[in-house]
Amino acid sequence: MKYSITSENRAEKPAFLAFLLVFVLCVVPQVQAADTAASADVLLHPENTARAGLGLLPVSQPDLTGTEEVVQQTLIAARERVAGMLESADTRDIELANAYGELGELYQIHHFFRPAEPAYRNASKLAPKSFLWPYYLGYLMQEASELEKAEQSLVHALGIRPDYAPATLRLAQVYLDQNRPDQAVPLFEAVVDNGELRAAALYGLGKAALAQRDFETAAELLEKALEARPEATKIHYPLGMAYRGMGDVEKARKQISLHGGGEPEVVDPLVEDMNQLLTGGRTQLQRALEAVVTRKYPVAVEAFGKALEQDPGNVNLRTSYARSLFLSDKREEARKELEEAVRRDPANDLANFLLGVMLESEGKTMEAERLYRATLEADPKHSGANHYLGNIMMREGRYEKAAGYYRDTVAGSPENLPARLMEILALQRAGTDPGLMMERLREALREHPDDQWFSYIQARILAASPEDGLRDGARALEISTWLAEKTTGAEILEVKAMSYAELGQFEKAIETQNSALFMAFSMGRVDLIPAMQTNLALYQQGKPCRRPWSDDSVIFQPIPIDPVGPFRDYPTGSPF
């Protein structure tokens, strides 16, 4: 849903922004910032101007020390514009209202909240029918946690324009933060069917139900909010509290452990309109990083792009820009930015790696391999490049090389269990050192005794290894029985049948293998059936299996690359 501003004259704003840009670039650098700021302090006290007697509030000049020069210049230019209008008896009220309001916007988005408040109040006084300025004041006070002021301003704004749904949502949030759920609930309910605000409204309703100790309703609403916005990890905490109230300690503990800082997004076109006024590379970077955390990637694209305009040589920033482009489905643009990053800095590990991920996902394996190797030249411990090179080696049947890359992956990221699993499988497939393979498997099991995948691999090797010294049918049966209690699957029954056969219990092996075949048929796992039939024939002849897996088993095939994960989640020391 789109919202438009119809209740006030905003025609001056685009012209003013053009003026402001020219002023910042061409005029202000010729003026001493301290002198201009001092004159603005005087001129922005209305009692010293042609507007004396109107009851307008003075707007103090914040301390701009440490603020980027372009931000200082922008704020000074806006203050000078207001100062000039205050001195002129010919200035129309609506013009001065817009100038004050836009000054308030600039202060607010650059986090100077104190002077933003009187600027907005002056704008509202000069344009009493305007919705925009009391709304922005309410939003400002909500951000500053001055809830009584926020309530007053939002009620005022909604009295002028009751149809603006984000204002209704914000007032509901203010009521809830004041511990007034009875007043918050009908406002949340009024906007819960608005698709762009639904998750935030459900989140508010869930917290209101929690405050009223209606734990079942709270859990239901918060689950729906989380379903609508799974990236909003802050929902997990009240959801955990709801489960705790219901007496479900296990669910409560799980939800609380997932708690993060992301709230459901409030889609607010007027706030986005305000954000267009941001200046300064650091400010844009802050906006971009906040957008990345909440997965608002188009916003991140815009902010990173603006920051990059001011610092085009920053390769880390360009790489972050490329990531946001990719995650906004602008993949060709992302590729060009990554290629430019690599051109500017051939040793940049992250740019090489992500470009390799993109190319591999497009089937360009040779080019991807070259980029992964370039990544490792820059950072030999780069876990991502080692893992994906291991996958390439595995697919090409170069098992010893694959095992080496997986081993290096685990050395850099011990928590990477898929890489550890694939190293063991690569060693098993290479067949050059069964002792090393078992040593790595035992090490994995010591560190992760409850991991079913490692246990499954161990059971198959103990049941059917061609190496006489590795087999232990009794232990294989024990493990496969434990696995069958934990999960169901044709492969679990298959390894159990292998264990019976190794123990010479062929009738049980045949019975169990037939059950495995039936399950494979019913699950549509036709890839398992030929090897299972071959093993069944062995058991019917009174022979055990001596091949843990068939040569074409899918277990040796790494999971196909999904570039979204690395582009979204891969860690980096510095995003800019």
pLDDT tens sequence across 366-415: 999 999 999 999 999 999 999 999 999 999 999 999 999 999 999 988 88
Q: Calculate Rg over the CA atoms of the chain.
A: 32
Which range of 17-21, 179-183, 258-262 scores highest in mean pLDDT? It is 179-183
> Model confidence at 576, in pLDDT bands (50, 70, 90)?
low
Q: Which residue, 37, 69, 575, is CA-closest to 350?
A: 575
Residue 552, classed as helix, strand or coil, is coil
Whole-number Å distance between alpha carbons of 570 and 237: 25
pLDDT of residue 133: 96
Please, are residues 392 and 368 in contact by the beta-carbon 8 Å criterion? yes
Helices (H), strands (E): how many in the chain? 30, 0
Q: What angle do CA 458, 527, 363 make, to 5 degrees?
A: 95
Residue 260, classed as helix, strand or coil, is coil
Q: Is the pLDDT of residue 568 over 90?
A: no
**Residue 244, CA atoms < 13 Å, CB-side half-sphere:** 12
Whole-number Å distance between alpha carbons of 220 and 433: 54
Length of the chain: 576
**Residue 261, CA atoms < 13 Å, CB-side half-sphere:** 5
Q: Is the pLDDT of residue 162 over 90?
A: yes
Average pLDDT of span 209-235: 93
The total of other beta-carbon atoms located within 10 Å of residue 512's CB is: 24
**Residue 353, CA atoms < 13 Å, CB-side half-sphere:** 28
Q: Which amino acid is at 33?
A: A
pLDDT of residue 50: 57
List, as one string, the DSSP characters of 5-34: --SS--THHHHHHHHHHHIIIIIGGGS-HH
Q: What angle do CA 524, 362, 405 make, to 5 degrees?
A: 80
> Model confidence at 52, in pLDDT bands (50, 70, 90)?
low
pLDDT tens sequence across 84-94: 888 887 888 99
> Model confidence at 302, in pLDDT bands (50, 70, 90)?
confident
For residue 209, with 0-12 CB atoms within 10 Å meaning exposed, 13-18 middle and 19 or more buried, which class applies?
Answer: buried
For residue 34, with 0-12 CB atoms within 10 Å meaning exposed, 13-18 middle and 19 or more buried, which class applies?
Answer: exposed
Whole-number Å distance between alpha carbons of 113 and 62: 9
> Model confidence at 515, in pLDDT bands (50, 70, 90)?
very high
Please, are residues 37 and 65 in contact by the beta-carbon 8 Å criterion? no
pLDDT tens sequence across 406-459: 999 999 888 889 999 999 999 988 887 788 888 989 999 998 888 899 999 999
Q: What angle do CA 334, 335, 341 make, to 5 degrees?
A: 90
Q: Which of 14-23, 106-115, 219-228 has the lowest mean pLDDT?
A: 14-23
Please, are residues 425 and 555 in contact by the beta-carbon 8 Å criterion? yes
pTM given for the model = 0.59
Please, are residues 301 and 321 in contact by the beta-carbon 8 Å criterion? yes
Whole-number Å distance between alpha carbons of 249 and 252: 5
Whole-number Å distance between alpha carbons of 311 and 452: 49
pLDDT of residue 280: 59
Whose tokens are 């009295």? That residue is 159
List, as one string, the DSSP characters of 166-229: HHHHHHHHHHHHTT-HHHHHHHHHHHTT-TTTHHHHHHHHHHHHHHTT-HHHHHHHHHHHHHH-
pLDDT of residue 397: 92
Q: Which residue, 366, 345, 344, is CA-closest to 356?
A: 366
Whose tokens are 């402001």? That residue is 20
Whole-number Å distance between alpha carbons of 98 and 71: 20
- Hey, what are 123's tokens? 């704008």
Q: Which residue, 419, 136, 459, is CA-closest to 271?
A: 136
Q: Which of 169-173, 176-180, 289-293, 306-310 has the lowest mean pLDDT?
A: 289-293
Please, are residues 94 and 126 in contact by the beta-carbon 8 Å criterion? yes
Please, are residues 137 and 48 in contact by the beta-carbon 8 Å criterion? no
Q: Is the pLDDT of residue 14 over 50?
A: no
Q: Which of 7-11, 78-82, 157-161, 484-488 has the lowest mean pLDDT?
A: 7-11
Q: Which domains does the chain have, with CATH numbers?
A: 1-145 (no CATH), 381-449 (1.25.40.10), 451-545 (1.25.40)
Residues 6+ apart with CB under 8 A from 345: 315, 351
DSSP character for 375?
Answer: H
> Model confidence at 357, in pLDDT bands (50, 70, 90)?
very high
The percentage of residues in the chain with a pLDDT greater than 70, rounded to a whole number, is: 89
Q: What angle do CA 3, 8, 12 make, to 5 degrees?
A: 105
> Model confidence at 221, in pLDDT bands (50, 70, 90)?
very high
DSSP character for 56?
Answer: P
Q: Is the pLDDT of residue 68 over 80?
A: no
CA 167 vs CA 156, 191, 310: distances in Å? 10, 10, 34
**Could you give the maximum distance between any two Cα atoms of the chain, in Å?**
108
Residue 549, classed as helix, strand or coil, is coil
pLDDT of residue 1: 33
DSSP character for 261?
Answer: S
Please, are residues 235 and 225 in contact by the beta-carbon 8 Å criterion? yes
pLDDT tens sequence across 540-555: 999 999 999 888 888 8
pLDDT of residue 279: 63
